[in-house]
Amino acid sequence: MSAWSDGYNADIAYTHGAYRELSPGYLSYVCLLNGIRPPRTDRLFRYCELGCGQGMTLNILAATHPHGRFTGIDFNPLHVAGARRLAEEAGLSNVAFHERSFQEVAAGALPAEEAGEGFDFIVLHGVYSWVSPENRRAVVDILEKTLKPGGLVFVSYNAMPGWAPLVPLQKLMLAHAAANPARSDRQLDAALGFIGRLSEGGAGYFVANPTAGQHLETVAKQDRHYLTHEYLNAHWEPLGHAQVAQDMARAKLGYACSANIPHNIDELSVRPELRPLLAEIADPTLAETVRDFAMNQVFRRDIFIRGLDRLPAVEAAAELRRLRFTLTVARESAGLAVPVPLGELRHDPGLGLPILDALATGTPSLGEIASLPEMARHDFGTISRFVALLISANQVHPLVDPAEEGRQAAGRLNRAISRRMLVDESLFFLAAPTIGLGIGADSLERLVLAGLLAGQPVDIQPLSGFVTDALQTLGRTVFAEDGSAISDPNAMPPRIAARLAEFLPQKLPVWQRLGIL
């Protein structure tokens, strides 16, 4: 472990993730949904990501929000260098990345033109429960010094009580890694192998905690770049909501809501038998803690506001009515059944189908949706909640619809990313300017998009040839219908052409609707 890393695993770069919950449009929408006034994004706003990693989310947000100014902070020079290269290649002038520790930033290490005016949004994803208490205090110092009044903070973290039975597992992984020095991915594999033998041998911990064995099976299938950053950190510590809320209060921040939409609706996330118990609790922090026990919460996505302003219900509804929405999936893939913490919620076709049809054929506002003749027997709250759950299920998203400048910037960024996709299999996200966030693609889709963004015609035969060449460059192949790998290069194009014929008619309109193409 490098001395400069302060106990955080830094010998392997983190994944190139792009996270919806960090989008200003999404965060503002969730606030309005819960009657909270969000920062304004219809004019110049400033946005900072603490622990920005590879900078993929921040570069996508900068490209799709040309009137925003974006600042990324990360102490890992490998991350910052890569994020800067991508921004430069895409010609993004409204984003800056700084190689700084949280303690340096808290001490005033940011350029005055960035920190001096304060930030409207400060976000931390997968950071707060992975760093030392000293660094958590530095984070709060940064929030206290640089967040504007009315500003929003998003912080995600491993949570109690859900992690409680698994904490010993992480401690054992860390101890095994410390006793066997190597590169962290190799340490992780060695630790997982050792712990697997311990489980198979009937160790009492696994007998008493069957969820630990199930978790071990899940972990074994995950990306090693993600896992080393998740588990091999000296200060890894799941946190309770009350502790985080107390930390944030020092920066005058009040808890607004969860960025996970169903978690704000007790009838979708808390068993009926427990709801009366929640109703007895007057203290909001205790109530939120009890919700975590009710749900056995393992990961929280909290939104805090500096100067929490609760909107009158009429004003919140009016703001929601003005928002426009679009489908982010093919109409054939959108459905009435939506996953929620208590299972699956299946909606009335009389409510859901007309809404899905309207979203597939246009970009209606919530007010226009509520005015559809088919909605006459449904109240606005029911309509709004159905749209919200479609958003939660990644089927719909509010529109950003940037000016031409944003579309051009997103196009430059997407072309830069797509060129890298042809040689780097770790990139999965492209900028969607109409909704202001990153959209993921599977291994075949991303090569198709790379071809289309490189100027390939929308024609299955030349596209299949392009994808075949790209797969061979990457040392990959495709699989026949029986699941066997195709080794003959001449057999690959027909199989790829058949796959493209299956999904391209559905995917192409979605990519065009989102502004990727």
Print pLDDT tens along the chain (517 aa).
Answer: 455 555 555 555 567 789 999 999 999 999 999 999 999 999 999 999 999 999 999 999 999 999 999 999 999 999 999 999 999 999 999 999 999 999 999 999 888 777 778 999 999 999 999 999 999 999 999 999 999 999 999 999 999 999 999 999 999 999 999 999 998 889 999 999 999 999 999 999 999 999 999 988 888 888 877 888 788 888 999 999 999 999 999 999 999 999 999 999 999 999 999 999 999 999 999 999 999 999 999 999 999 999 999 999 999 999 999 999 999 999 999 999 999 999 999 999 999 999 999 999 999 999 999 999 999 999 999 999 999 999 999 999 999 977 788 899 999 999 999 999 888 888 889 999 999 999 998 888 989 999 999 999 999 999 999 998 898 888 888 887 878 888 787 888 888 999 899 989 999 999 999 999 9
Q: Is residue 143 a contact partner of residue 151, using CB atoms and an 8 Å limit?
A: no
Tell me the C-alpha distance between 61 and 27, whole Å: 13
Q: Say if CB 24 and CB 68 are below 8 A apart.
A: yes
The CA distance from 136 to 130, in Å, is 9
Q: Given 181, 215, 231, which residue is the final one in a domain?
A: 231
User: At which of 208, 231, 254 does a domain end?
Assistant: 231
> 257 with 355, same domain?
no
Question: Do both 372 and 223 map to the same domain?
Answer: no
Measure Cα distances from 289 to 159, 160, 253 in Å: 10, 9, 18
Q: Are the CB atoms for 266 and 295 separated by under 8 Å?
A: no
The residue among 18, 149, 131 whose CA lies nearest residue 75 is 131
CATH of the domain at 155: 3.40.50.150
242: its two tokens = 């009350």
| CA dihedral sign of residues 97, 98, 102, 108 | negative
Residue 317 domain flag: no
Structure pTM? 0.93
Same domain, 206 and 226: yes
Phi, psi of 288, rounded to the nearest 5 degrees: -65, -35
Are 334 and 390 found together in one domain? yes
Tokens 């930030």 locate to: 119
Q: Are residues 114 and 258 in the same domain?
A: yes
Could you count the other beta carbons within 10 Å of the beta carbon of residue 35? 18
Domain-embedded: residue 289: yes
**Is the same domain home to 350 and 285?**
no
Contact 58, 82 (CB under 8 A): no
Asked if the structure places residue 374 within a domain, the reply is: yes
Domain match, 146 and 246 both: yes
DSSP-assigned states of every residue in 396-453: EEE-----HHHHHHHHHHHHHHHHHHTT-TT--EEEETTTTEEEE--HHHHHHHHHHH
The pLDDT value given to residue 131 = 94
Residue 83 belongs to a domain: yes
DSSP characters over 155-206: EEEEBTTTTGGGHHHHHHHHHHHHHS-S-HHHHHHHHHHHHHHHHHTT-HHH
Is 420 found in the same domain as 505?
yes
Q: Does residue 108 fall inside a structural domain?
A: yes
Count of domains forming the chain? 4
pLDDT at 152: 98
pLDDT at 1: 46
* Domain final residue, candidates 182, 197, 231: 231
Q: Both tokens of residue 86?
A: 């991508």
Would you say residue 504 lies in a domain? yes
- Determine the structural domain holding residue 93 and report its residue range: 29-161+238-306
Question: Of the candidates 274, 271, 293, 273, which has an alpha carbon nearest to the alpha carbon of residue 343?
Answer: 271
Query: Does a structural domain hold residue 19?
Result: no
Residue 23 domain-assigned? no
Are 221 and 369 found together in one domain?
no
Are 43 and 134 found together in one domain? yes
- Same domain? 131 vs 242: yes
Tell me, yes or no, whether 196 and 245 share the same domain.
Answer: no
